[in-house]
Structure 1
Amino acid sequence: MARYHIETYGCTSNRGESREIERRLRDAGHYRVDGPEVADVAILNTCTVVEKTERNMLRRAEELADETADLFITGCMALAQGEEFRAADIDGQVLHWDEVPEAVTNGECPTTTPDAEPILDGVVGILPIARGCMSNCSYCITKEATGKIDSPPVEENVEKARALIHAGAKEIRITGQDTGVYGWDTGERKLHELLERICEIEGDFRVRVGMANPKGVHGIREELAEVFAEHDELYDFLHAPVQSGSDDVLGDMRRQHQVEEYVEVVETFDDRLDYWTLSTDFIVGFPTETEHDHEQSMALLRETRPEKINVTRFSKRPGTDAAEMKGLGGTVKKERSKEMSELKREIVADAYEDMVGERREDCLVVEEGTADSVKCRDSAYRQIIVQNASDHGLEPGDFVDLEVTAHETMYAFGDPV
């Protein structure tokens, strides 16, 4: 788990986003410390209201980059003027705030607390379906806290989902260290069965499946894709972190899958679903990653073109086998991260640009945004922002048909039809 230091500047919107970042980090088993000098990672949530503020943000980012191992820069200035940080040669990653928690995890699984129970947060119900995983990744410290997979019975999770829906949940988020291996400890692969049972619960709601490693998904890819295709309650969204496009690096990471298995999962979902979102992760600069390995990762990114991509520079976690490996230089990791992040922005922006002018039906209003806006999710879990929400009478929990009118790199804008 990582020790993080976070600093927030600017308006209440930025403070709200920092609170959400911290909530997700705590859910993943990370903890806050006072001061960047004792932190594994520092997070700078920036403001850009006036030129003097911008200079202060650049100066503070430079200070934090010198004081901690990894720096993540988000907020208004990062998104509007990210090139300023790059021009200043600041050793930090510029990210949308929603990407920060996953970047901090360094490719590790989320950590569910031992007593994890369903949580209703607004109209979002969070349902941990199991604890632990079946992996032994060389860079991951999470397994030390979670152990092997421990899967409650399907019926028990269905009842928890039913209780969340009856309590007002409109979106059920299925979580776990690795949802794809749910049921492996009982000798059966049960994720598709669980999802089908949850979708049969009475009510108007949506279900998002959390991270599932490619190996677990690969063995049930046909059954899983069929369940997605049959049930509108399921967001057509799959988060399958590949981490590298090189089988050699995957072997050194002790990932259980090979690149071909990941590609076969993607092809199966492509065959069954006309419109869906592939989310994946890449760790850049693993100690044994060569330039050729990096090029293989870039090629895989171009081939599969996931619509959501988390790019993380490798950093050592104490007590892991990868921490004992001779690492790559910071400059090499920075250059490879920059190259992949630029390709990522291009691919994701293309995906959202393709949505402009199209109608998206039954989008769920998930939460309030800033300045009288709301954040909605379409059938593929892509984010669409509706501005002037009060004029349309929209609030979290509503379903609405939207016409996509414009886009930014990580989200789109829409108007009610």
Structure 2
Amino acid sequence: MARYHIETYGCTSNRGESAAIERRLRDAGHRKVEGATEADVAILNTCTVVEKTERNMLRRAEELADETADLYVTGCMAIAQSEAFREAGVDGEVLHWDEVPEAVTNGECPTTTPDAEPVLDGVVGILPIARGCMSDCSYCITKHATGKIDSPPIEANVEKARALLHAGATEIRVTGQDTGVYGWEQGERKLPELLSRICALEGEFRVRVGMANPKGVHGIREELAQVFADNEELYDFLHAPVQSGSNDVLGEMRRQHQVGEYVEVVETFDSVLEYWTLSTDFIVGFPTETDRDHAQSMALLRETRPEKVNVTRFSKRPGTDAADLKGLGGTIKKERSKEMSELKSEVVGAAYEGMVGERREDVLVVEEGTGDSVKCRDSAYRQIIVQDAGEYGIEPGDFIDCEITGQNTVYAFGEPV
């Protein structure tokens, strides 16, 4: 697991976001260290109150980038002035705070809490449907902690979902190391049925399906896409981490899918759903990755144009087979990461830009944002920020109708109608 160092500047809201980041990192088995030089990953949660603060943030970002392998910049300045870090040549990735935990995982499966019980966080209910996975990825240490898939009965998970709704949840996040293989150890593919049963529960709510590896989704892609189409409670959102556009690298990673299977999943969802979000992950700089392999990953990103992308530089995890491979130089990994991150910003930014003035969305208010704003999710789980929420009397748990009026690369702005 990764050793992380986190620094937080600014208001109580920033401190709350950092606390949420740390909670998710701890749940995933990562360990906090006090100094950036001891860390695999540094996280800088920024403030942008005055010009002097901005200069301090840029200087601190440059220092942290020199002190650790990977730097993630988040917080107010990262959202409002993301271009400032790029213009200053900061060797780090600028992310929204809730994208940070996924980026830190180095492409590994998320781990759930040991008892894998539901958790209510505000109006969001976290529902772990299973523990473990069916994969044996060469770079992943999570499998040593979680083992093979262990899927509770559908009825047990439906009852947990019902309990979350009764407790006040308006969004249920179905999670697991690999949700797509739910039920596989019993010789069944149960995810579509489970989702249909949860969506049939009483109440007005939304359901987000967590990470599902392409191999597991591929075998149920047509049935699963139809479940999404038939149930408005489901966000039309699929997180299928491809990790590489090269079949050679996927083989060395011991990923169970090939690029063609991932593309077939995307094509199936494209054919069934008119408006949906594809989320995927890429690991750049895997030890065996050549220039040609990297080019193939870049081409796949351009071809499939996911609306949400996590780009992570490979780092060795103790006890994994990939840790024994001779690694690429840090400069190569940084250059490839920068190139892919720039393409990611272009692709994701174009998706959000295309929403402006073109869409009117029924969104769910999920949580409070910075200042007097709220963070909402539309039908495809794209993030919509509504400002001056107090003036509209809007709070988490509300469903509101919005016109999309602007965007900032990884989210859009909405105005209540």
The CA distance in 2 between the partners of 1:369 and 1:71, in whole Å, is 23
1:388 and 1:58 map into 2 onto residues whose CA distance is: 29
Give CA-to-partner distance per residue, 1:293-330, whole Å, 9 cap, x none.
Answer: 11111111111000001111111111111111111111
Deviations 1:5-44 (A, max 9, x none): 1001122232222122112212222232222233221111
3-state SS of 1:296 partner: helix
SS of equivalent residue, structure 1 residue 244: coil
Asked whether the equivalents of residues 2 and 30 of structure 2 are also in contact (C-alpha less than 8 Å), the reply is: yes
| CA displacement, residues 145-192 of structure 1 (integer Å, 9 cap, x when unaligned) | 000000000010001001111111100000000000000111101000
CA contact (8 A) 2:209 2:237 kept: yes
Secondary structure in 2 aligned to 1:400?
strand
Secondary structure class of the residue paired with 1:414: strand
Structure 1 position 88, deviation (Å) = 4.7
Aligned to 2:277: 277
Residue pair 2:116, 2:130 contacting (<8 A) in 1 also: no
- The 1-side partners of 2:371 and 2:91 are apart by 32
Q: CA RMSD in A?
A: 1.5
Asked if 1 retains the 8 angstrom alpha-carbon contact of 2:375 and 2:386, the reply is: yes
Give the drift of 1:335.
1.1
Contact 1:313 1:333 in 2 (8 A): yes
How many angstroms apart in 2 are the aligned matches of 1:203 and 1:85?
Answer: 44
**Structure 2 counterpart of 1:329:** 329
Q: Which residue of 1 aligns with 2:259?
A: 259
Map 1:195-206 onto structure 2 (within 5 A).
195-206=195-206
**Match runs of 1:74-85 below 5 Å:** 74-85=74-85
Q: Distance in 2 between matches of 1:211 and 1:291?
A: 28
Structure 2 Cα separation of the partners of residues 326 and 9 of structure 1 = 38
Residue 189 (structure 1) aligns with: 189
Q: Distance in 1 between matches of 2:290 and 2:315?
A: 16
Contact 1:359–1:401, Cα closer than 8 Å, also in 2: no
TM-score under structure 2 length normalisation: 0.96
The 2-side partners of 1:115 and 1:194 are apart by: 20
Distance change (3 Å), C-alpha of 1:86 and 1:345: closer
Instruction: Give % identity.
Output: 83
Q: How far apart in 2 are the matches of 1:256 and 1:93?
A: 28
Contact 2:361–2:404 (Cα < 8 Å) also in 1: no
SS in 2 for 1:261: helix
1:385–1:412 Cα contact (<8 Å) kept = yes
Q: Which residue does the alignment assign to 2:363?
A: 363
Q: How many residues align?
A: 417
Letter in 1 for 2:231: H
Other-structure match for 1:412: 412
Range moving further from structure 2, 292-301 or 351-360 = 351-360
Q: Distance in 1 between matches of 2:379 and 2:85?
A: 35
User: How far is 1:226 from its partner?
Assistant: 0.8
Q: What per-residue deviation string (whole Å, max 9, x for no partner) do you get for residues 221-272 of structure 1?
A: 0110110010001000000000000000000111000000000000010111
- In structure 1, how many angstroms separate the alpha carbons of the residues matched to 2:83 and 2:132? 40
SS at match of 1:238: strand
- Is the 1:213–1:241 contact (alpha carbons within 8 Å) kept by the matching residues of 2? yes
8 Å Cα contact 2:8-2:15 kept in structure 1: yes
Change (3 A) 1:149 1:312: same
In 2, Cα distance between equivalents of 1:242 and 1:335: 20
In the TM superposition, what is the alpha-carbon distance from 1:86 to its structure 2 partner?
A: 4.1
Give CA deviations for 1:365-411 in whole Å, capped at 9, x if unaligned: 11111221111111101111111112212111111111111111111
3-state secondary structure, aligned to 1:139: coil
Residue deviations 1:86-105 (CA, integer Å, cap 9, x gap): 45544332323222111110
Structure 2 counterparts to residues 159-238 of structure 1, below 5 A: 159-238=159-238
